[in-house]
Amino acid sequence: MSSLLPDNAPPPPAAPATMDAPPAGPQAQPAFLLDVRSFAEFMSGHLPGAHCLPLPQLEARMRELCPDLAREIVVYCSSGARAELALATLRRLGYDRARYGGAARELAHSLHVTLIPGM
């Protein structure tokens, strides 16, 4: 299974754990990319494979979007501020493997991907 980061890439700033190791185990999944910006912001450019769940809807809809509490989640937004708030909410909801991804542009740069517009 491929990882989110190439082997030589540094982790995103302020990430408590690296995301450069391949997922372990036969049924491991890649990290769940969670964009907590508004839908309009998401449509203007997001990471490939990311899911849009605006911060005001996070608590009510996260279990619907990602029912696996053990899945690694990388949360990001425009500047990192909403991602920090979202991270606290995710941890309170039981998502212990949630990680701070920071700002969309910086995270895309560190992952060596381009933000894509639209769906």
- Catalytic (active-site) positions: 77
Could you count the other beta carbons within 10 Å of the beta carbon of residue 103?
Answer: 18
Q: Hunting for tokens 């996070």 — which residue is that?
A: 58
Tell me the average pLDDT across 71-95: 98
Q: Quick: pLDDT tens for 9-20.
A: 444 444 333 344
Q: Quick: pLDDT tens for 28-76.
A: 679 999 999 999 999 999 999 999 999 999 999 999 999 999 999 999 9
Residues 86 and 78 sit within 8 Å (Cβ to Cβ): no
Strand ranges for the chain from DSSP E: 32-35, 51-52, 73-77, 98-103
